[in-house]
């Protein structure tokens, strides 16, 4: 993610020939700037700004999937009181909390393990990162097989321990646990890389000084490394929170939202394409977006303060 | 560091590495040796891949669809962010800061929440159920990272390089084409890599935008293979499909690894 303040743009750089030519040159560069920026501006306007406005407009209209739409005030926002939606919110929050903690701990452990440049460490970094190159949908299908075929290594290990047949996705809690395991496998390397970048930006002199002062490894970790790592940790937390709050692929593929494992985005999808009510789907989207923006702004503000 | 500790680190790393590789290797292995892999029951065989090749509209057409979407997304991302990044870094034009901020705001707005209005909008533009429309949407999602990366890449080039080209009689466009592009090539590769991985693997956007089974991308076709036949999932073909979907990404990643790491360390992902 990127700092939200307008970054200092480098001053325009114009070669400086004779005064009159300079004037026309500057105008020429302005025109070129507009020309070069135009394709991106058009894309952003048509496929980002307009849909945002349309979303708000749709949320105050009765807007069936097929057929004519008509304004209906805030009736769509009744969707926020739907018990199905509230259950989806609760499940999403639980999933977000569990995933963020588990994923964070595993990724931090991996980052500590591979942070130092030792011979052969590059191979381990690559291996830990490799699952992140596989798509989330493909990962979910892979684990669907891992959970559901009898001779998969997972089920063989479970049998070897005499636990018999385990239904990995059979209840809310087991689906939550299994999915968290899968997501940790898929994303640990990604967050490892982020945390490692943070660890590398800490001046080694500080660690050296703490060691000379007689601090133990544990003390160095708690008193030196973690406090200095706070901006990176905050960034990782923002990414993980946003990603989990918007979880869709994993549950849509693994459980199809059964056993109360529907997330907020699955709820939006159901409102839109199963109930065929785009207005209600837009209302839930607006509410979700508002919550996430507040969350992101708060986190980024925190991040910037720590960064100074 | 003591030798015991070093050995401990190596053993831990190795054990974890096995754990991380196992799911991938198991899928590859069982797609070739599973119950239905060989025509005569046990042993090695490609029967799973043959069934996958004949599933639905055929693996070939799903691969082509996915490649078209990825190609559109990568091309549009690279061209717009290279031009836009250059303009934002070097050419002063009215609305420059506004464009930069609005583009970065795409990061703040999780895209799954705007898929429903996008679905309507693409319908108005005649791009519903269109691979090009899907590719354009996926390109927009890559713009914040791409613009940031390319702006930084151009800003890092010495101004003298461009001045020299201008003095030698190049136009601004000529200097960009002949001199500067070579300097920002690593940035372009990074942007293209991120864009490719995201587009190739995208699931929810094609799920919503594509309605015609013949236009499905690979992840969507595999999801159909898994969910379409309740009770009797063809796990062999599914595993073959996972391999077909993951292999290009793993290969591209292994070849271009250092560009990926560059994307992190260039500050684009730092606070």
Query: In sequence order, what are the residues at sequence separation of 6 or more whose Cβ sits closer than 8 angstroms to the Cβ of residue B91?
Result: A12, A29, A30, A32, A33, A36, B172
Structural domain contains residue B5: no
pLDDT band at residue B75 under the 50/70/90 scheme = very high
Q: Return d(Cα A150, Cα A142) in angstroms, integer.
A: 14
Query: Which chain B residues are Cβ-neighbours of A285 within 8 angstroms?
Result: 113-114, 116
Question: What tokens were used for A130?
Answer: 């490799």
Question: Are B143 and A40 in contact, with CB atoms under 8 Å apart?
Answer: yes
- Whether B200 shows a pLDDT value over 90: the answer reads yes
Structural domain contains residue B10: no
pLDDT band at residue A305 under the 50/70/90 scheme = low
Q: Do B103 and A44 touch (CB under 8 A)?
A: yes
Question: Are A289 and A297 in contact, with CB atoms under 8 Å apart?
Answer: no
Structural domain contains residue B178: yes
Choose the mutation target among A22, A33, A59, A241 for the interface with B, i.e. most B CBs under 10 Å: A33
pLDDT band at residue B146 under the 50/70/90 scheme = very high
Q: Return d(Cα A287, Cα A285) in angstroms, integer.
A: 5
What is the pLDDT, as a whole number, of residue A18?
Answer: 54
List the single range of A80-89, A173-182, B24-33, B255-264 with lowest mean pLDDT: B255-264
What is the pLDDT, as a whole number, of residue A87?
Answer: 93
CB atoms within 10 A of CB A157: 10
Q: Do A13 and B113 touch (CB under 8 A)?
A: no
Q: Return d(Cα A249, Cα B220) in angstroms, integer.
A: 11
Structural domain contains residue B16: no
Residue of B nearest to A280 (CA): B116
Q: Return d(Cα A4, Cα B271) in angstroms, integer.
A: 9
Closest to A108 measured CA to CA, from A128, A92, A94, A123: A128
- Whether B205 shows a pLDDT value over 60: the answer reads yes
Which stretches does DSSP call E strand in chain B?
A: none
Mean pLDDT, chain A, whole residue set: 85
Question: Are A272 and A66 in contact, with CB atoms under 8 Å apart?
Answer: no
**Position with higher pLDDT, B106 vs A304:** B106
- The average pLDDT across B61-86 equals 96
Structural domain contains residue B22: no
Question: Are B65 and B216 in contact, with CB atoms under 8 Å apart?
Answer: yes
Query: Which chain A residues are Cβ-neighbours of B231 within 8 angstroms?
Result: none
Q: Do A249 and B204 touch (CB under 8 A)?
A: yes
What is the pLDDT, as a whole number, of residue A73?
Answer: 82
Q: Return d(Cα B243, Cα B250) in angstroms, integer.
A: 10
Domain count within chain B: 1
- Whether A9 shows a pLDDT value over 60: the answer reads no
Q: Return d(Cα B46, Cα B239) in angstroms, integer.
A: 12
Give A106-136 pLDDT, tens digit per residue.
999 999 998 888 888 889 999 999 999 999 9
Question: Are B68 and B135 in contact, with CB atoms under 8 Å apart?
Answer: yes
What is the pLDDT, as a whole number, of residue A27?
Answer: 84
Question: Are B44 and B229 in contact, with CB atoms under 8 Å apart?
Answer: no
**Position with higher pLDDT, A160 vs B151:** B151
Structural domain contains residue B148: yes
Q: Do B116 and A144 touch (CB under 8 A)?
A: no
What is the pLDDT, as a whole number, of residue B1?
Answer: 54
Question: Are A245 and A287 in contact, with CB atoms under 8 Å apart?
Answer: no
What is the pLDDT, as a whole number, of residue A121?
Answer: 86
Q: Do A43 and B201 touch (CB under 8 A)?
A: no
Structural domain contains residue B14: no
Q: Do A54 and B121 touch (CB under 8 A)?
A: yes
Partnered with residue B38 across adjacent β-strands are B41
- The average pLDDT across B192-205 equals 94
Give A51-67 pLDDT, tens digit per residue.
999 999 999 999 998 88
Q: Where in the sequence is the domain holding B223, given as residue range(s)?
A: 49-265
What is the pLDDT, as a whole number, of residue A88?
Answer: 94
Question: Are B65 and B59 in contact, with CB atoms under 8 Å apart?
Answer: no
Which letter does DSSP use for residue B45 in this model?
-
- Whether A280 shows a pLDDT value over 60: the answer reads yes
- Whether B76 shows a pLDDT value over 70: the answer reads yes
- Whether A10 shows a pLDDT value over 60: the answer reads no
Closest to A248 measured CA to CA, from A260, A268, A265, A261: A265
Give A233-275 pLDDT, tens digit per residue.
888 888 888 889 999 999 999 988 887 889 999 999 999 988 8
Structural domain contains residue B44: no
Query: Which chain B residues are Cβ-neighbours of A114 within 8 angstroms?
Result: 13
Query: Which chain A residues are Cβ-neighbours of B172 within 8 angstroms?
Result: 28-29, 32
3-state secondary structure (DSSP) of residue A168: coil
**CATH number for position B245:** 1.10.3720.10
pLDDT band at residue B250 under the 50/70/90 scheme = very high
What is the pLDDT, as a whole number, of residue A5?
Answer: 43
- The average pLDDT across A12-38 equals 73
Q: What percent of chain A has pLDDT over 70?
A: 91
CB-nearest to B91 from A33, A121, A256 is: A33
Give B208-237 pLDDT, tens digit per residue.
999 888 899 999 999 988 887 666 788 888
Choose the mutation target among A10, A25, A28, A37 for the interface with B, i.e. most B CBs under 10 Å: A37
CB-nearest to A40 from B21, B81, B227 is: B81
Give B16-59 pLDDT, tens digit per residue.
999 999 999 999 998 888 777 776 666 787 888 888 888 888 89
Query: Which chain A residues are Cβ-neighbours of B223 within 8 angstroms?
Result: 137, 141, 253
What is the pLDDT, as a whole number, of residue B48?
Answer: 86
What is the pLDDT, as a whole number, of residue A72?
Answer: 87
Ramachandran bin of B231, using left for φ above 0, alpha for ψ from -120 to 50, beta for the remaining angles: left
Q: Return d(Cα B33, Cα B192) in angstroms, integer.
A: 35
Mean pLDDT, chain B, whole residue set: 87
Q: Which residue has the tokens 């094609």?
A: B206
Query: Which chain B residues are Cβ-neighbours of A142 within 8 angstroms?
Result: 23-24, 27, 239, 242, 246
Residue of B nearest to A52 (CA): B114
Question: What tokens were used for B91?
Answer: 């050419």
Question: Are A219 and A207 in contact, with CB atoms under 8 Å apart?
Answer: no
- Whether A158 shows a pLDDT value over 70: the answer reads yes
Give B109-128 pLDDT, tens digit per residue.
878 888 989 999 999 999 98
- The average pLDDT across A139-160 equals 86
**Position with higher pLDDT, B9 vs B188:** B188
Give B162-183 pLDDT, tens digit per residue.
888 888 888 878 888 888 888 8
Task: Identify the sign of the CA torsion A65, A70, A75, A77.
Answer: positive
Q: Do A138 and B245 touch (CB under 8 A)?
A: yes
**Position with higher pLDDT, B34 vs A87:** A87
What is the pLDDT, as a whole number, of residue A152?
Answer: 81
Q: Do A10 and B89 touch (CB under 8 A)?
A: yes
Task: Tell me the shortest Cα–Cα distance from B133 to chain A, in angstroms.
Answer: 10
């Amino acid at each position: 993610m990127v700092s939200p303040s307008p970054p200092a743009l480098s001053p325009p750089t114009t070669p400086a020939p004779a005064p009159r030519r300079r004037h026309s040159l500057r105008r020429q560069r302005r025109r070129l700037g507009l020309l070069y920026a135009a394709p991106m501006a058009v894309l952003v306007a048509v496929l980002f700004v307009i849909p945002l406005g349309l979303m708000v407009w749709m949320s105050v209209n009765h807007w069936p999937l097929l057929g004519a739409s008509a304004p209906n005030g805030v009736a769509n926002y009744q969707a926020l009181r739907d018990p199905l939606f509230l259950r989806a919110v609760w499940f999403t929050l639980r999933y977000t909390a569990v995933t963020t903690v588990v994923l964070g701990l595993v990724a931090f452990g991996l980052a500590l393990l591979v942070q130092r440049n030792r011979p052969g460490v590059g191979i381990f970094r690559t291996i830990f990162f490799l699952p992140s190159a596989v798509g989330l949908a493909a990962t979910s299908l892979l684990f669907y097989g891992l959970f559901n075929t009898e001779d998969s290594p997972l089920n063989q290990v479970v049998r070897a321990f005499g636990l018999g047949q385990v239904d990995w996705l059979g209840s809310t809690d087991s689906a939550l646990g299994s999915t968290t395991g899968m997501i940790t496998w898929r994303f640990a390397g990604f967050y490892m890389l982020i945390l490692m970048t943070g660890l590398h930006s800490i001046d080694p002199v500080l660690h050296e000084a703490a060691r000379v002062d007689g601090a133990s490894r544990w003390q160095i970790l708690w008193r030196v490394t973690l406090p200095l790592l706070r901006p990176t940790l905050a960034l990782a937390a923002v990414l993980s929170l946003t990603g989990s709050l918007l979880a869709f692929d994993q549950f849509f593929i693994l459980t199809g939202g059964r056993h109360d494992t529907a997330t907020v985005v699955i709820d939006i999808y159901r409102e839109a394409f199963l109930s065929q009510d785009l207005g209600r789907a837009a209302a839930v989207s607006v509410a979700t977006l508002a919550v996430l923006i507040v969350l992101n702004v708060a986190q980024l503000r925190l991040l910037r303060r720590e960064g100074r | 560091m003591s030798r015991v500790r070093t050995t401990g680190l190596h053993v831990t790393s190795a054990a974890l590495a096995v754990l991380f590789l196992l799911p991938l290797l198991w899928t590859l292995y069982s797609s070739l040796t599973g119950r239905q892999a060989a025509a005569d029951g046990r042993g090695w065989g490609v029967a799973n891949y043959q069934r996958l090749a004949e599933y639905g509209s055929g693996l070939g057409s799903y691969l082509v669809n996915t490649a078209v979407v990825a190609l559109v997304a990568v091309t549009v991302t690279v061209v717009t962010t290279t031009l836009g990044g250059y303009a934002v870094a070097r050419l002063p034009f009215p609305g420059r800061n506004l464009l930069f901020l609005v583009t970065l705001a795409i990061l703040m707005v999780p895209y799954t929440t705007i898929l429903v209005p996008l679905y309507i909008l693409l319908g108005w533009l005649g791009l519903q159920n269109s691979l090009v429309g899907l590719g354009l949407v996926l390109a927009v999602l890559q713009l914040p990272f791409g613009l940031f990366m390319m702006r930084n890449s151009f800003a890092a080039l010495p101004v003298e390089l461009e001045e020299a080209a201008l003095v030698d009689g190049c136009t601004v466009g000529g200097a960009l084409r002949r001199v500067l592009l070579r300097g920002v090539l690593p940035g372009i590769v990074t942007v293209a890599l991120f864009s490719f991985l995201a587009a190739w693997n995208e699931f929810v956007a094609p799920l919503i935008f594509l309605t015609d089974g013949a236009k499905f991308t690979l992840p969507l076709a595999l999801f159909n293979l898994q969910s379409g036949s309740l009770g009797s999932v063809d796990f062999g073909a599914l595993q073959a499909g996972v391999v077909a979907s993951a292999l290009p990404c793993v290969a591209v990643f292994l070849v271009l690894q250092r560009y990926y790491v560059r994307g992190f360390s260039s500050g684009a992902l730092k606070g």
